[in-house]
A and B are shown apart, each in its own frame.
Chain A
Amino acid sequence: DGGITQSPKYLFRKEGQNVTLSCEQNLNHDAMYWYRQDPGQGLRLIYYSQIVNDFQKGDIAEGYSVSREKKESFPLTVTSAQKNPTAFYLCASSRDRELRQYFGPGTRLTVT
């Protein structure tokens, strides 16, 4: 999984609670991404960051927030405003947004 770690692998939360998913990379990549994957579907972009202290909304940013205080780290917070948060979350990084992305192992979040 190429120098990107995500923790935890499985996460369980009660509805109404915020939860933060961790993503760390040691590839010295400038760009980092968060995707959501639902069963049998492709990846949908939540947020991306091309440089420290800067990030942009992807296609489904509502109910999520991110920060990019360090080059190595791009945590994702799933807030209580996200209506259907149960999903598989994937973090990725790349040297440049046009180039190949390196993915972490993913975090499976279940909210009940």
Chain B
Amino acid sequence: SQQGEEDPQALSIQEGENATMNCSYKTSINNLQWYRQNSGRGLVHLILIRSNEREKHSGRLRVTLDTSKKSSSLLITASRAADTASYFCAIYSSNDYKLSFGAGTTVTVRA
């Protein structure tokens, strides 16, 4: 499976700080998606960035994509306790027409 790999595996920050996590992959992609999962719940879609896009914003989230380095980053600004969750990147490739998920980054925001 041609999945993305997130880094770091876990991240602990103080409320108000920014959180950055990275995703690397090995294949060519059509798009890359970020999802959030609260403990024991389903995943929630955050952002989709296409291979011809370099940056996208949604509220306090900023996603960048560098296809030459085969990597993406998710930045959460001014974090809140409610941002405590696991964050997954998922790559969609026309090589296999599937969305492949990484193992995730667990983010803990301390009050």
Contact = CB atoms under 8 A, between A and B. Distances in A.
Nearest to A6: B42
Contacts, number: 60
Interface string A1-15: 100101000000000
Contacts of A6: 42
Given A40-B103, A42-B104, A59-B1, A100 B98 contact: no
Contacts of A102: 45
A99 B99 CA distance: 9
Interface residues of B, number: 23
Nearest to B3: A42
A103 B42 contact: yes
A106 B41 contact: yes
Contacts of B101: 35, 42-44
17 contacts: A1-B41, A43-B101, A44-B1, A44-B101, A45-B99, A48-B98, A58-B98, A59-B1, A88-B40, A90-B42, A92-B43, A97-B99, A100-B48, A101-B45, A102-B45, A103-B43, A105-B42
Interface of B: 1, 3, 30-31, 33, 35, 40-45, 48, 88, 92, 97-104
